[in-house]
Structure 1
């Protein structure tokens, strides 16, 4: 193993160790099950370690790993042919984001579930995983303009859906 391969391997392991909560949270956002999310994380780590020599630069570790994780989760959803919505009160503590109340979380959760998978992926990676648009484009293997378009279209849709949720509660 060359020095560069050792450095990349070490960077991959360090990334996984430092970001295990974010990795789990992202997997959970797709599969909506603690056990399945843990399985997806484990499978993604296995795939990443098995193929780490494909990483050309240490700075690409995050987007490379998230690409594996997202694809693993999407494969699982296709394989099981299910998309499950989970009420916020059933989401484990480590998967709950920092929204101020469960009511807001429920509205956001419902609105996110209404989005198509590709749009939801862009929004989750951008705002929950704090990835740059260029990194997201790499993860999804799309050009950056497609990612931007999907992000802005998704945000407009979320804004509209959340407004509807607020007005629907008032009636």
Structure 2
């Protein structure tokens, strides 16, 4: 966009901004959302500024951009927001606990024999089926199953892991 068109856009926003903001307020009902909506519509208008030949059509273009953007936002939020009088209990994400669990699990894996550790890593971290693990390790599928089973039993019985995290869920199998 050349400098004159850029300056024309700046003057348009300065002169019509408050009127357009009132319309955005009517669409959203919230000042912060209205400002976001107007900014999004003006960004779209700025990109199309060279194609708008009739100065009388600019307001209509911005209004249409606001309406289309608001409808798009409304559709997206419709799937995410469910108004209610009561707030549901939100579990607090405990990053520290997750990090401690990750470290403890890493130490417990390090205590496993190499083949068991490798079998567990391939099975649960790489999500490989037993047949592929058997090919990688050069053993039978039955050996993979028993190796993973023994490794998981050791991890469940690991005293350090269990004492640090007594509320870990039991084996789902």
The question of a shared fold, defined as TM-score above 0.5 by the shorter chain, is answered with: no
Larger radius of gyration: 2
TM-score, length of structure 2 as denominator length: 0.39
Instruction: Between the two structures, name the one with larger relative contact order (CA 8 Å, sep ≥ 6).
Output: 1
TM-score, length of structure 1 as denominator length: 0.40
